[in-house]
Homo-oligomer: A and B are copies of this chain.
Amino acid sequence: MTRERLMNVQEFERSLAESGLDAVVAVSQPNVFYTSGAYILTQVSVPDRLAMTVLPASGEDALLVCNIEEGLARDESWIEDVRSYVEFAEAPMHLLADVLKEKGLAQGRIGIEARRLGTGYYWELSEALPKASIEACDWLFDHVRSLKTEGEIQRLGEAGRATERAILEAFDQAKAGDTERHLLRTIKDNVALYGATDVVFAILGVGDQSYVPHPPARERPIELGELVRVDFGGSWECYGSDVARMAVVGEPTKAQADTYKKVREVERTAIEFMGPGVRACDVFRCVVETYAKFGIEYPGPHCGHGFGLETHEAPMLHPYNEAELQPNMLMCIEPVLFSEELGGYQVEDLVRITEEGSEILTSYGDADELFVIK
């Protein structure tokens, strides 16, 4: 069944026309899905089984897949021109070159995802199309995908709230003495119960690991007094979630409660600061300055990121990014505090940039107080 076309078609066409490129080629799983509707798992598990969309400035789009995936591609994609190559017998880049030639673009300006297309494949394509000008067009996909459609906002909001709920209910089900792995498994089970098809990342930092960015979950009990930091990314087929919530085992110490309130205050301040026309680097500065008021130095490297099909999407909220926020960008804001002295603190929410300012989409529970695991 053809998937619903959620891409921002209008912005894509505008950007492609403005770029002067004759065609762009998507090669990464998120961009192939975004531009075709075909969600091809083996793009990740068998990365040399390339799938690509060819999107010319004028004329019909084409979807190029391994013949194994042809049935799925025809089922799921709204692109009618599906071509396939036989794995090991035919080179995907030769098929791509043939399609571009057929479209009269052998000497055209072709945009590739330069960060994602392997160098060896680029060499093959250059050899097959010696007169074409092959350029990076990652920026175009980054830009278009950053401006979410209503359908995307609905899906991502639901995914975020389901993830938040899964974490908070797991906190509710947990008790001192449960192992870290058990707690993580409960969160995963809950997320699956709420419809997630996959886990993208599942970070649980407890006690002496609360301030380790991506620690391994251990087969040890969570103990009274320990901080529990969860940063969880699920996926609902193609669209993802990225939510962080905190708990403490037993009643928090005054230092824990105070520090949590500060981190939450920094997050709220940044969310209220965000709105159309605000530069990404200024959101970062807002976080640095709010932390500074509490006498805490914020190290970065970022305090959040655009979110959608991938964990980190444009715009990144880092000190060097002067891009302005725009309505219908979806941002994850996460001014984490990792301190050997204080512990690791992280609250992360999904925020929509509106015409007037911003609104929080992950609002299933109340993250104002540090959750207490009994």
What residues of chain A have their CB less than 8 Å away from a CB belonging to chain B?
40-42, 45-49, 67-69, 71-72, 86-89, 112-123, 136, 138, 185, 188-189, 192, 198-201, 212-216, 233, 237, 300-302, 311-312, 316, 318-321
Taking a contact as CB atoms closer than 8 A, the residue among B136, B185, B200, B301 that contacts A89 in the complex is B301
Tell me whether B71 and A116 are in contact (CB under 8 A): no
Oligomeric state, in number of copies? 2
Nearest-neighbor residue (CB-CB) of A120 within chain B? B114
Tell me whether B69 and A213 are in contact (CB under 8 A): yes
Which residues of the other chain, B, contact A119 by a CB distance below 8 angstroms? Answer: 112, 114-115, 117-119, 121-122, 136
Tell me whether A87 and B301 are in contact (CB under 8 A): yes
Which residues of the other chain, B, contact A123 by a CB distance below 8 angstroms? Answer: 114
Q: How far is the CA of A302 from the CA of B114 in the complex (A)?
A: 30
A221 to chain B, nearest CB (A): 18
Which residues of the other chain, B, contact A216 by a CB distance below 8 angstroms? Answer: 237
Given contacts A115-B118, A118-B119, A213-B72, contact A86 B41 (CB under 8 A): no
Tell me whether B116 and A136 are in contact (CB under 8 A): no
Q: How far is the CA of A302 from the CA of B67 in the complex (A)?
A: 12
Given contacts A68-B213, A114-B119, contact A88 B318 (CB under 8 A): yes
Nearest-neighbor residue (CB-CB) of A42 within chain B? B214
Tell me whether B301 and A67 are in contact (CB under 8 A): yes
Given contacts A48-B115, A115-B48, contact A316 B88 (CB under 8 A): yes
Nearest-neighbor residue (CB-CB) of A68 within chain B? B213
A30 to chain B, nearest CB (A): 10
Nearest-neighbor residue (CB-CB) of A86 within chain B? B301
A137 to chain B, nearest CB (A): 10
Nearest-neighbor residue (CB-CB) of A75 within chain B? B212
Q: How far is the CA of A330 from the CA of B114 in the complex (A)?
A: 34
Identify the 6 closest CB pairs spanning chains A and B, nearest first: A114-B120, A119-B122, A87-B301, A88-B318, A115-B118, A114-B119
Nearest-neighbor residue (CB-CB) of A123 within chain B? B114
Q: How far is the CA of A67 from the CA of B300 in the complex (A)?
A: 10
Which residues of the other chain, B, contact A117 by a CB distance below 8 angstroms? Answer: 118-119
